[in-house]
Structure 1
Amino acid sequence: MSIIVFLVITLFIAFIQTVIPYLVKRTVVFGVTIPDQYTQNPTIKAYKKRYSISVALLSGIIIGGYIIWAFTNERLEEQVAIAGTIIEFAIIFISVSWYFYYHGKTKQLKSKNKWVENLKQVKVTDLSVRSQDEMLPWYIYLMPILITIGFMLYTIINYELLPDQIPTHWGPSGEPDAFTEKTPFSSIQLTLLLLVMQLMFLGIHIATKNSGIKLSATGLQSSRNRQLSLRKYSSWFMLFVVLVITMLMGYFQLTTIHPNIASDYAMAALPLFFLAIVLIGTLIFGLKVGRSDKEIEILEDEKIMDIDEDKYWKGGMFYFNKNDPSIFVEKRFGVGWTINFANPIGYIIVLVPLIIIIVISIL
């Protein structure tokens, strides 16, 4: 069971890391702003192709070695899980290493050819674009929160039915593999963790909904399509993930109170089912947003470009801009959002819930 779970996750990670250069904003290549006039430059295309081939080949070798190792001899699930986790991080490390290599090469190419020196940097504002925003309203996220509060109250009412040892962790097979002594706190610990996660997702949704919509001066329609698609589908995707996590953890909570409602088949199949639909949802989200701005528009003025914000992006990945009120901004490598590290509210939204989750887990 473990080998299947880790193989699916690892293959998914390898695929996403391989195709990332073709899913990011068209005018951003390896975290570097490229004027629209040069996005079809042969060298730029070659960098993307070499990155993808390198990551795909190295990932294939690592995954192949993992499969041979796992199936050659009888392995304990713990060994398979540890090895699976290591190769997942190895693939991410490889892709990030190649990213930084080509980030440096792209910066050198941009500087050497002086692509921005003879172009006027222009910022575009469209006041009507907000009216086209289809992000979900924040109160939709109250639904899973109310469900979790219901699970919590149900647990308290049925406290006497709980076993003396409360499950605190479930393995890849869906079976509990860690327990703690029954107390009023431990009985609702899982629902508390779930509630904190839901509140974090709600905070991220509100912050992204209030973030700025950045349009391109040289590709107004395509950039509008990407921004609106990113906002719309990310809000739906976050809600989808929250609902899936709520259903799965709620099911685990109910099986703790009523063990007889869970068959061995259901406990084994549910985690795989939820993993599959989350990965499929992630893939659909990435492709929907990633392909939303790939139509090249005819430039009306070839002597302009978008504002070059490279100075605010450290390594092309980490955004520091005190002048930007946005808490979250679109990633430069990947599909989705990243924190404006110069805005302290972002730390509160993300780090405070994570600290609370760690504290609850320790207690």
Structure 2
Amino acid sequence: MHANAVPAVLPALLIGFLSLLTPLLTPRTVQFGVRLPAERAGDPVVAHARRTYWTGIGAVTAVAVSAGLFVRSAGAAAIVADLVELVGSVAAYLLARSHVADAKRDGHWFEGRRQVTVTDTTLRTRPEPFPWLWTLPAVAITVGTAVVGAVRYPQLPPRLVSHYDAGGHPTSYTDKTFVSAFGLVMVQIAVTALIVVLSRVTARGKAELDAQDPHAAERHRRFVTAMARCLLVLAAAADLTMFFAALATWNLVGSTGFFPVLLIAPIVLATAGLVVVTVRVGQGGSRLRVEGAEAAGSGIGLGTGSGNGSGAGNRTGNGAVNRDDDSFWKLGMVYVNREDPAVFVQKRFGVGWTVNFGRPAVVGLLVGILAIAVLVPVLAGSH
């Protein structure tokens, strides 16, 4: 076991921890990517699937960490541990999913039930305000970085450090140009813009409302607001990390000693906060407690077609269940529905959003994100 073995396997441990949490964060009517009537959420088969999944994740994480600890190099250890963890976690999920899906099919859980989709028209007519004030920290950090760089630029040496090793020692240099000097500022702008746009779009995206939950719309409102705030905090944390990296590039701070910790601390703290909020709210707000009267007359409507329902004032407490839409979800993870105009939809397993691969706009979106992912390292000078 080498000296850097423990840090190398930390990502695998984090993935394992988050995988263990995931079944607790999903709505009761969606278990391991399978749509269920609410009363079946406590079925013995579902409980057994959870136990099987948790046992599998525990075993996979133990194998991943053990493999990583005894690989010679830190880089190889991280790759081996992460690969084992990711593949094993997916396998554990698919096994648990198969148990639930088979029980649902064999037990005819939706047979004879009135299946509906539900919508709340007020989510469009009176949407939750986007938390624009939460964008200010990221914008301020980016502007501040640009100002410091502009002041420092005339005094910069002809050659700038373009890469540091894990210990904070420079390993390569590049000529002083506008791009090499302000590459990290450009990355800040790109990251901030991307996160703000995605936060804004997903906050106005399709709401997955539970036909058996009269407070579903209120949960959704609180969920999208909480997630938008967390993403904007994460943007600020990423910008702060790049600010510290820029200071090192401009020779304003040393790059050894405590500096590596300073670089990763903002992202670690923001990610930890995101996990805490996620556990608190659950996917779609499923873990939130909502007080007050039921949502009678709040614009909730029921429909039986392939799209969203419409109408107002109908109560959901009438024996209706959510439409069995598993056919649109491949393995419970990939959503493909050409009839659904939504580009972003809430994940079936996990917290957050995924895309509707049945929409042509998704191709352009993925190409744009890929372009940013390719350009960011170039602009950053491989920092």
CA distance in 1, matches of 2:351, 2:325: 18
1:141 aligned residue: 135
Instruction: Confirm whether residue 284 of structure 1 aligns to residue 300 of structure 2.
Output: no
Deviates more, 1:125-134 or 1:36-45: 125-134
What is the SS of the residue equivalent to 1:125?
strand
1:265 to 249, 257, 265: 257
Shift of 1:83: 1.1
CA distance in 2, matches of 1:2, 1:235: 35
Deviates more, 1:233-242 or 1:191-200: 191-200
CA distance in 1, matches of 2:288, 2:152: 58
2:347 aligned residue: 331
Q: 2:74 is aligned with what amino acid?
A: V
Tell me, yes or no, if the aligned pair for 1:174 and 1:268 is still in contact at 8 Å: yes
Q: Map Cα deviations across residues 18-47 of structure 1 (whole Å, 9 max, x no partner).
A: 221221121111111111121111011101
Q: 1:238 is aligned with what amino acid?
A: L
Tell me, yes or no, if the aligned pair for 1:174 and 1:271 is still in contact at 8 Å: no
1:244 aligned residue: 237
Q: 1:99 to 1:341 in 2, by over 3 A?
A: same
What is the SS of the residue equivalent to 2:257?
helix
Tell me, yes or no, if the aligned pair for 2:280 and 2:287 is still in contact at 8 Å: no
**Matched-pair identity in %:** 24
Correspondences of 1:122-137 after superposition (within 5 Å): 122-128=116-122, 136-137=130-131
Instruction: Confirm whether residue 87 of structure 1 aligns to residue 78 of structure 2.
Output: no
Instruction: Confirm whether residue 42 of structure 1 aligns to residue 44 of structure 2.
Output: yes
Q: Map Cα deviations across residues 116-159 of structure 1 (whole Å, 9 max, x no partner).
A: 12111122233345688656334743652454244235424532
1:117 aligned residue: 111
CA distance in 2, matches of 1:82, 1:229: 42
CA distance in 1, matches of 2:10, 2:259: 18
1:56 to 52, 58, 67: 58
Shift of 1:253: 0.6
1:215 aligned residue: 209
Shift of 1:2: 4.6
Q: Map Cα deviations across residues 247-272 of structure 1 (whole Å, 9 max, x no partner).
A: 1101111222133x337333132134
Q: Map Cα deviations across residues 181-240 of structure 1 (whole Å, 9 max, x no partner).
A: 32222221222122212111122012112212221111222x335423431221111011
User: TM-score by structure 1 length?
Assistant: 0.85
2:93 to 89, 92, 99: 99
Structure 1 unpaired stretches of 5+: none
Tell me, yes or no, if the aligned pair for 1:167 and 1:180 is still in contact at 8 Å: yes
Q: 1:241 is aligned with what amino acid?
A: L
Instruction: Confirm whether residue 188 of structure 1 aligns to residue 182 of structure 2.
Output: yes
Q: 2:238 is aligned with what amino acid?
A: I
Q: 2:41 is aligned with what amino acid?
A: T
Tell me, yes or no, if the aligned pair for 2:134 and 2:229 is still in contact at 8 Å: no
Tell me, yes or no, if the aligned pair for 1:30 and 1:333 is still in contact at 8 Å: yes
Shift of 1:347: 4.3
Instruction: Confirm whether residue 312 of structure 1 aligns to residue 353 of structure 2.
Output: no
CA distance in 2, matches of 1:9, 1:322: 36
Shift of 1:349: 4.2
User: TM-score by structure 2 length?
Assistant: 0.81
Structure 2 unpaired stretches of 5+: 291-315
What is the SS of the residue equivalent to 1:123?
strand
Q: 2:99 is aligned with what amino acid?
A: K
What is the SS of the residue equivalent to 2:118?
coil
2:220 to 220, 227, 235: 227
Shift of 1:300: 4.3
Q: 1:264 to 1:19 in 2, by over 3 A?
A: same
CA distance in 2, matches of 1:133, 1:86: 45
Instruction: Confirm whether residue 351 of structure 1 aligns to residue 367 of structure 2.
Output: yes
Tell me, yes or no, if the aligned pair for 2:164 and 2:172 is still in contact at 8 Å: yes
CA distance in 2, matches of 1:174, 1:135: 43
Deviates more, 1:87-96 or 1:340-349: 340-349
Q: 1:262 to 1:132 in 2, by over 3 A?
A: farther
Q: 1:156 to 1:207 in 2, by over 3 A?
A: same
Shift of 1:287: 0.4
Instruction: Quote the RMSD (CA, aligned, Å).
Output: 3.0
Q: 1:110 is aligned with what amino acid?
A: K
Q: 1:38 to 1:177 in 2, by over 3 A?
A: farther
Tell me, yes or no, if the aligned pair for 1:24 and 1:332 is still in contact at 8 Å: yes
Q: 1:346 to 1:139 in 2, by over 3 A?
A: farther
Tell me, yes or no, if the aligned pair for 2:245 and 2:263 is still in contact at 8 Å: no
